[in-house]
Amino acid sequence: MRVFKFGGSSLCDAEAIGRVIDILQEKSIEEKPLCVVVSAMGGVTDEIIRTAKAASHREIAYRETLKALRKRHTKVLNAIAHGDRETTEIIQEQCVEFFGICDGVYALGELSGKVLDRLMSFGELCSAHMVAAACRHAGLDAKFVDSRDYIVTDERYGAARVDFEKTAAALHKLDADGATIHVLPGFVARSANGRITTLGRNGSDYSAAIIGAGLGASAVEIWTDVNGVMTANPRYVSDAESIERMSYVEAMELSHFGAHVLHAPTLQPVMEKTIPLLVRNTFSPDFKGTIVGNESVSERIITGISTVDNVSFIRVQGSGMVGVFGVAGRLFTSLAKAEVNLIMISQGSSEHSICFAVQDADNQKAVQAIETEFELEMQAHMMDTPVVEREMCVLAVVGENMRRRPGIAANVFGSLGESGVNVVAIAQGSSELNISMVILQQDASKALNAIHSAFFKK
């Protein structure tokens, strides 16, 4: 059994969904049954969030965006599965429920994470019903399967954590032989108490990997709008190339550092079971794309480069940090308690300062946590107030072949120097798989192109 996942970019309109159905038609001849995990139609989740926020701010215009969302879905459904009354009714029911919740948000002027998860789930639920209907319309034996009945999480709304034991037990009961094609909504799940949760933005990739691992799939295929994982984001680097093969760890590093063609947690479940992960292009289905497996077979020194955009770089420094036990422990524990996610850490050997990068949205939370933890040290002038530099980005150079090979850092930083890009901080893990650095956001494109030319144009 193979698991296919189609992202929002592959489901943006009726024409794109038509391509998806063509791909499934071909695949279902080769192998049966298939599991198909789908995202919401392109842009729908963003639109749902905007609508929900507008309602919570008591902006009556939310009603117009709601109507536009309903119109978009019904129009596409008519085009891909005209006359499917059952699905039309399901979409109408979903819309009525969605409208009702949004009206409640408007009346209260309040939007909790729990309610937002419920609202966001409509995107994937509708698209899964629609894709199943389109398959049937094309003569395929397809049915909607509700992934919320199988993926069990905690109640951390917005980015719920999966209970793998309960999920594996539930997936064990999925009757994969009940139809040729099972269409499941990605991104959505349910807590043990029955609350609807979501797996984090871009999380449908993760759903596919969880389902693939739980069912012991022979492969998980992520179908998107580019030719697989590329040496850099093609939106930044026009001559980026498709990576034929890469290791799970390389893919994990690249996705953690901003290559959002794969949602970073996706790699873990498939890596644990050594299930090959393929990344393919819906708009160029004959192209092989990328195979992610145990080994990287690339001849190249580096496999790829990526950036995490819009980060803040925070420096904690002071004479009281030198030679004192436990400062780093207290610092990172206080950040963890405040639920601040660290993207990268760097400390000079003088121990005088520790620097780290966080998402811009987290910088206030981080500063507050540090000021509370080190209040006494700051009063005694042993530690300074944290310094925050905004509008930065973290650039990562990733590749298994960098290990024990001298001269790579010189080449990376030499090419940045020649392009006039200033490097604010650097970190390299001892695995030598990744060199990451903090630079100004405005230099991101220049830096990516400079390093890309230095390593890939020879």
The answer to whether the CB of 229 falls within 8 A of the CB of 220 is no
* Residue of this chain nearest to ligand ADP (CB atom): 7
Q: Which amino acid, 358?
A: V
- Please identify, using beta-carbon distances, which residue of 35 and 262 lies nearer to Mg ion: 262
Identify which of 345, 366, 350 has the alpha carbon closest to the alpha carbon of residue 425: 345
State in angstroms the smallest separation of the CB of 236 from ligand ADP.
8
State in angstroms the smallest separation of the CB of 43 from ligand ADP.
10
Q: Candidates 37-45, 73-81, 362-370, 388-396 — which segment interacts with ligand ASP by CB under 6 A? A: 37-45
Total binding residues for ligand ASP by CB under 6 A?
A: 12
With CB cut-offs between 5 and 8 Å by kind, which of Mg ion, ligand ADP, ligand ASP, none does residue 306 bind?
ligand ADP
265 near ligand ASP (CB under 6 A): no
The H or E element spanning position 45 is: helix 44-56
Identify which of 120, 125, 66, 116 has the alpha carbon closest to the alpha carbon of residue 96: 66
Q: Candidates 102-110, 138-146, 196-204, 271-279 — which segment interacts with ligand ASP by CB under 6 A? A: 196-204
Q: Say how far apart CA 96 and CA 113 lie, in whole Å.
A: 21
**One residue of 20, 152, 174, 229 binding ligand ADP per CB under 6 A:** 229
Count of CA atoms in the C-beta half-sphere (13 A) of 217: 31
Identify which of 35, 29, 80, 10 has the alpha carbon closest to the alpha carbon of residue 181: 35
202 near Mg ion (CB under 5 A): yes
With CB cut-offs between 5 and 8 Å by kind, which of ligand ADP, ligand ASP, Mg ion, none does residue 225 bind?
ligand ADP
Q: 315: which strand partners? A: 355, 387
- Please identify, using beta-carbon distances, which residue of 10 and 94 lies nearer to Mg ion: 10
CB-count burial class (<10 Å; 0-12, 13-18, 19+) for 188? buried
72 near ligand ASP (CB under 6 A): no
Please give the structure tokens belonging to residue 144.
């909607």
State in angstroms the smallest separation of the CB of 7 from ligand ASP.
6
Q: Mask: binding to ligand ADP, 256-285, rule CB under 6 A, as x and -? A: ---xxx------------------------
Contact positions with Mg ion (CB under 5 A) in 1-40 = 7
The answer to whether the CB of 151 falls within 8 A of the CB of 207 is yes
258 near Mg ion (CB under 5 A): no
434 near ligand ASP (CB under 6 A): no
Q: Mask: binding to ligand ASP, 99-138, rule CB under 6 A, as x and -? A: ------------------------x---------------
Q: Say how far apart CA 207 and CA 167 lie, in whole Å.
A: 11
Q: Say how far apart CA 305 and CA 452 lie, in whole Å.
A: 8
Q: Say how far apart CA 115 and CA 112 lie, in whole Å.
A: 5
- Please identify, using beta-carbon distances, which residue of 7 and 123 lies nearer to Mg ion: 7
Q: Say how far apart CA 122 and CA 51 lie, in whole Å.
A: 13
**One residue of 87, 191, 204, 436 binding ligand ASP per CB under 6 A:** 204
- Please identify, using beta-carbon distances, which residue of 7 and 386 lies nearer to Mg ion: 7
Residues in the chain: 458
Phi, psi (degrees; rounded to nearest 5) at 354: -125, 135
**Distances from the Cα of 298 to the Cα of 151, 246, 257, 293, 303, angstroms:** 35, 7, 20, 12, 7
449 near ligand ASP (CB under 6 A): no
207 near ligand ADP (CB under 6 A): no
Phi, psi (degrees; rounded to nearest 5) at 111: -135, 110
**One residue of 2, 3, 4, 8 binding ligand ADP per CB under 6 A:** 8
Contacts with ligand ASP, residue ranges (CB under 6 A): 7-8, 39-40, 45, 123, 186-187, 201-204
Contacts with Mg ion, residue ranges (CB under 5 A): 7, 202
Contacts with ligand ADP, residue ranges (CB under 6 A): 7-10, 39, 202, 224-226, 229-230, 232-235, 259-261, 304, 306
